[in-house]
């Protein structure tokens, strides 16, 4: 007489321990790398008291950083090639609108030259991006 054993049956339980381990490792990786994914060019904008304009989602932004390097969105371009690059980009766009962000430490002559290149590329509307004025919370001394 033979004894029955359960060794012939398949195990129907799912082992989730490796799945949880992999998910925790991925979570830690994303938590560490997320702060490093900064988008855009770092610029200290001048402060003004004007109201914000409505902006489009896919706006074309030209940035002049503190080192006087010119960027179209996130791509660096020389000032001498700015007109040519913008003209090619705007050729396929219905709206001919560009926003200009310039660091407040950039000389006015450089900003004026970039504005002239943007207008020469056929831009119909040029908006200047600024930061809102920070009001002081402490009373002023007399």
Backbone angles phi, psi at 47, to 5 degrees: -100, 135
Tell me if 26 is assigned to some domain. no
Task: Give the mean pLDDT of the chain.
Answer: 79
Tell me if 39 is assigned to some domain. no
pLDDT category of residue 48 using cuts at 50, 70 and 90: low
Angle at 11 between CA 6 and CA 13, to 5 degrees: 135
Tell me if 93 is assigned to some domain. yes
Question: Residue 103: which CATH number?
Answer: 3.30.420.270
Domain span at residue 83 reads 47-132
Tell me if 14 is assigned to some domain. no
Tell me if 102 is assigned to some domain. yes
* Mean pLDDT for the stretch of residues 32-45: 69
Tell me if 79 is assigned to some domain. yes
Dump pLDDT digits (tens) for 68-110.
899 988 888 988 889 998 888 888 887 888 899 998 888 989 9
Residue for token digits 């050729």?
91
What's the domain count of the chain?
A: 1
Instruction: With beta carbons less than 8 A apart as the criterion, state whether 73 and 33 touch.
Output: no
Tell me if 20 is assigned to some domain. no
Asked whether residue 22 carries a pLDDT value surpassing 90, the answer given is yes
Tell me if 92 is assigned to some domain. yes
Return d(Cα 140, Cα 83) in angstroms, integer.
47
């Amino acid at each position: 007489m033979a004894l029955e054993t359960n060794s012939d049956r398949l195990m129907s339980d799912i082992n989730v321990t490796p799945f949880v381990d992999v998910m925790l490792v991925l979570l830690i990786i994303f938590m560490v790398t997320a702060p490093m994914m900064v988008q855009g060019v770092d610029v200290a904008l001048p402060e003004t008291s004007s109201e914000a304009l409505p902006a489009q989602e896919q706006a074309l932004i030209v940035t002049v950083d503190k080192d006087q390097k010119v960027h179209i969105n996130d791509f660096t371009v020389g000032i001498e090639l700015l007109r040519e690059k913008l003209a090619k980009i705007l050729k396929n766009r219905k709206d001919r609108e560009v926003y200009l962000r310039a660091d407040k430490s950039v000389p006015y002559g450089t900003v004026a030259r970039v504005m002239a290149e943007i207008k020469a590329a056929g831009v119909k509307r040029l908006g200047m991006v600024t930061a809102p004025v920070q009001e002081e919370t402490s009373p002023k001394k007399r």
